[in-house]
Amino acid sequence: MEYKDLVKKYNLKESKDILRYKSNPILSRKDIPYNAHLIFNAGVTKFNNKYIMIFRNDYYVNNDSITKFHTDLGLAISSDGIHFKVNKKPFIKYDDINKGENVRIYDPRLIVISNDLYMCFALDTHHGIRGGIMKINKDLKSYKIISLSTPDNRNMVLFPEKINGMYVRLERPMPIYSRRNKEIFDTWISYSKDLKYWGESKLLLATEDVKYCNCKLGPACPPLKTKKGYIVIFHSVIKDEELGKNGYEDKWQKVYVCGVMLLDLKDPSKILGISNNPLLIPKEEYELKDGFRNNVIFPCGVLINKDTCYIYYGANDTSTCLASIKVNKLIEYCLKK
């Protein structure tokens, strides 16, 4: 579908203040020094004066079949947040944790809390999808798994600090039976004293709260602290049964956009506002065409530099792109009635 048809069909309006980086994508298959095909959904943060990116790499086994692939995570480092140099070897392979049980590791989200680097990730196992948290050591090679959820859960992000003495995370469990066997999944908030044991869970953002969602929505990037509240970018899915082949798959009926909400600084389970329109809608060729799955914008990484917010997103489940917007615009969108 062309952009003009897409916005018309779903009655969408993209933010006029968002700027895509002119040389998008910033990372794709050609930049990777090992077996790699789809390079997307990257977590990014600033750690020890460098920009660290951990990206998802879906690569075909035997180079021939798209139905037989593995997913590992790769590491790249940058001094400007735009030009990334990829390490010679993957950061973690899909079966490095619980050998024999995993199918893939993916969708990393990076955050620094009290000078330590953490990564949330999803792990598909033979017995369900688990959300994990690991601490990455300063050498950027070794790590320690802190927690792995029960299935099915994913899209976890951690807040950048403790709030009222507790670590806080957002997550998106996948309740199938209770949601009439449909993919109607909401965003939840949970608390922990030690990042290992999580509880006090509460529904935070329901699909019916967002007008550009009819399927599932989940936290996209870790919350950003501002004076007005925590900015949280989320992905939001529109499912359309009229859509058919849209990429490599026989049937791909979803359009992924992203929106933004603002959470209270003292009580992050309180939503102060949600943007009326999406921030990013698939628009450019690399978001609409020739991808693994077309019509997908999937942010996982975010940074603030001075007055600007930088959003790193997967385009079409194929490459990694960058967009930016002024922080005050994001807050304005959330608070505008």
Interface residues toward ligand BMA, by CB under 6 A: 41, 106-107, 256, 293, 296, 298, 314, 317
When the beta carbons of 191 and 292 are compared against ligand BMA, the nearer one is 292
Q: How far is the CB of 37 from ligand BMA (least distance, A)?
A: 14
d(CA 173, CA 184): 10
The answer for residues whose C-beta is within 8 angstroms of residue 103's C-beta and 6 or more apart is 94, 124, 125, 126
Side chain identity at 192, as an amino acid letter?
S
Q: What is the chain's length?
A: 337
When the beta carbons of 31 and 317 are compared against ligand BMA, the nearer one is 317
When the beta carbons of 21 and 248 are compared against ligand BMA, the nearer one is 248
When the beta carbons of 31 and 58 are compared against ligand BMA, the nearer one is 58
d(CA 118, CA 283): 32
Q: How far is the CB of 252 from ligand BMA (least distance, A)?
A: 8
When the beta carbons of 192 and 319 are compared against ligand BMA, the nearer one is 319
Look-up of token digits 């020890």:
48
Q: How far is the CB of 254 from ligand BMA (least distance, A)?
A: 7
The answer for residues whose C-beta is within 8 angstroms of residue 233's C-beta and 6 or more apart is 220, 221, 258, 259, 260, 279, 299, 302, 311
Classify 287 as helix, strand or coil. Answer: helix
Q: How far is the CB of 332 from ligand BMA (least distance, A)?
A: 28
Q: Which two tokens stand for residue 22?
A: 């002119």
Q: How far is the CB of 176 from ligand BMA (least distance, A)?
A: 14
The answer to whether 260 and 233 are in contact (CB under 8 A) is yes
Classify 146 as helix, strand or coil. Answer: strand
Closest residue to ligand BMA, judged by C-beta, is: 298
d(CA 70, CA 72): 7
Q: How far is the CB of 38 from ligand BMA (least distance, A)?
A: 9
When the beta carbons of 298 and 333 are compared against ligand BMA, the nearer one is 298
Distance of CA 280 to CAs 174, 183, 225, 296, 324, Å?
Answer: 24, 22, 21, 10, 10
Q: How far is the CB of 322 from ligand BMA (least distance, A)?
A: 16
When the beta carbons of 44 and 262 are compared against ligand BMA, the nearer one is 44
